[in-house]
A and B are shown apart, each in its own frame.
Chain A
Amino acid sequence: AQTVTQSQPEMSVQEAETVTLSCTYDTSESDYYLFWYKQPPSRQMILVIRQEAYKQQNATENRFSVNFQKAAKSFSLKISDSQLGDAAMYFCAYRSGTSGTYKYIFGTGTRLKVLA
């Protein structure tokens, strides 16, 4: 069974600085997708960035980028120029590319605090 581990329950970053959130996963599959979701106090999960396992190039979305290390099964999220609005829970998620179900396996989350 696949597992996702986020070992940092909480992180803090100064406004305008850079922070990296860690995520490791375990799977025997070769076809899968990885995601980072943001969950603010409104509770709605918002997609931040996604990565296909077959792509070697790391995904980037504006101030957000990932470091995808497939052999190490690591998928970290880097937030550059942190803003107050980035404060939220961040969840790493895995989705199989071969299973008929589209379910996510989520980590336990990292709470990001942004200090003014």
Chain B
Amino acid sequence: EAGVAQSPRYKIIEKRQSVAFWCNPISGHATLYWYQQILGQGPKLLIQFQNNGVVDDSQLPKDRFSAERLKGVDSTLKIQPAKLEDSAVYLCASSRGIPIYGYTFGSGTRLTVV
């Protein structure tokens, strides 16, 4: 099966600009996750979708971050306006349901805010 697709692979923006990341999960996977991985740290969950509903967004900075999952398939994560501390790798992952065997990650988008 095809993996989790993410784009773009790299993005450089100036602070206060906006940016969007796209994720296409594995076909049939109902659960989709966005993680933020700051350099030197482990990934941290930003938001979890079950189909097109939000299950957990407790660590999403909602004043500047937003995410949507239209029709329960693709997802977009947006940052507006970006801050220097948003520089990180943004990883998308998906799982069929309860991820007893873990979930499948994409290769992420590396964001640099200058």
Give me the 9 closest cross-chain CB pairs, A-B, nearest first. Answer: A106-B42, A103-B45, A45-B105, A101-B56, A47-B102, A43-B108, A44-B107, A43-B107, A102-B99
Q: Is B24 an interface residue (CB 8 A)?
A: no
Contacts of B95 in A (CB 8 A): 102
Q: How far is the CA of A47 from the CA of B104 in the complex (A)?
A: 8
Identify B41's interface contact among A35, A44, A101, A108, CB under 8 A: A108
**Cβ-defined contact, A103 with B100, below 8 A:** no
**Cβ-defined contact, B106 with A4, below 8 A:** no
Q: How far is the CB of A40 from chain B (nearest CB, A)?
A: 10
Given A43-B110, A44-B105, A44-B108, is A102 in contact with B42 using a C-beta cutoff of 8 Å? no
Interface residues of B (CB under 8 A from A): 3, 31, 33, 35, 40-45, 48, 55-56, 89, 91, 93, 95, 98-103, 105-108, 110
How many residue-residue contacts, CB under 8 A, span A and B? 58
**Cβ-defined contact, A108 with B42, below 8 A:** yes
Chain A positions 69-109 with a Cβ under 8 Å from a chain B Cβ: 91, 93, 95, 100-104, 106-109
Q: How far is the CA of A10 from the CA of B61 in the complex (A)?
A: 31
Identify A101's interface contact among B35, B48, B105, B108, CB under 8 A: B48
**Cβ-defined contact, A47 with B101, below 8 A:** yes
Q: Is A64 an interface residue (CB 8 A)?
A: no
**Cβ-defined contact, A33 with B100, below 8 A:** yes
Q: Can you name the residue of chain A whose Cβ is closest to the Cβ of B89?
A: A43
Contacts of A103 in B (CB 8 A): 33, 45, 48, 56
Q: How far is the CB of A61 from chain B (nearest CB, A)?
A: 12
Contacts of B45 in A (CB 8 A): 101, 103-104
Q: How far is the CB of A72 from chain B (nearest CB, A)?
A: 21
Q: Can you name the residue of chain A whose Cβ is closest to the Cβ of B55?
A: A101
Q: How far is the CA of A67 from the CA of B103 in the complex (A)?
A: 22
14 A-B residue contacts at CB 8 Å? A43-B89, A44-B108, A47-B101, A47-B102, A95-B99, A101-B55, A102-B48, A102-B55, A102-B103, A103-B33, A103-B48, A104-B35, A108-B41, A108-B42
